[in-house]
């Protein structure tokens, strides 16, 4: 892994389509942007934040989320998530994450990811099947 400095940022964007609604993903009955979709976009923004710093078989996995979903977003809007790396503790990376729709802030919190090696990590997970 290349040296990662705090305060680097990343972002990800998504249209709020039917497959991202709470009614579609099973996290509620309303036709509004789902919390699981917002969380996934926040994770994606964290991945984008550090993508240029990973080498060879390195990747990260999400290990912790502390998120507040503050405002509902209707179908048809666009949501943007932003991540800022706030701490590096060995292979553990901590991010401040926020999500916005076209009207303003809709979610915020913290997210931790852990640096792993893809092949080794996948082999360990698959070993559970035996």
pLDDT confidence of 80, banded at 50, 70, 90?
Answer: very high
pLDDT in tens, 112-126: 999 999 999 999 999
Domain residue spans in the chain? Answer: 9-129
Tokens of 73: 């977003």
pLDDT band at 70 (very low <50, low <70, confident <90, very high): very high
- CA contacts within 13 A on the Cβ side of 6: 9
Q: The whole model's pTM is what? A: 0.95
> Does the domain formed by 9-129 have CATH 3.40.30.10?
no
The Cα–Cα gap between 71 and 110 comes to 17
Q: Is the pLDDT of residue 1 over 70?
A: no
Which residue, among 11, 70, 71, has the nearest Cα to 41 in the 3D structure?
Answer: 11
Q: What's the whole-number average pLDDT of the chain?
A: 96
Signed CA dihedral, 99, 66, 112, 28: sign only: negative
- Does 88 score more than 90 pLDDT? yes
């Amino acid at each position: 892994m290349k040296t990662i400095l705090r305060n680097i940022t990343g972002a990800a964007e998504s249209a709020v389509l039917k497959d991202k609604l709470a009614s579609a993903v099973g996290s509620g009955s309303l036709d509004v942007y789902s919390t699981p979709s917002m969380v996934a976009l926040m994770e994606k923004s964290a991945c984008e934040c550090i993508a240029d710093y990973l080498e060879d078989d390195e990747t990260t996995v999400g290990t912790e989320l502390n998120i507040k979903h503050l405002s509902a977003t209707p179908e048809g809007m666009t949501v943007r998530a932003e991540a800022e790396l706030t701490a590096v503790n060995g292979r553990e990376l901590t991010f401040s994450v926020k999500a916005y729709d076209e009207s303003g802030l809709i979610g915020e919190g913290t997210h931790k990811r852990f640096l792993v090696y893809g092949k080794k990590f996948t082999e360990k997970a698959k070993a559970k099947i035996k």
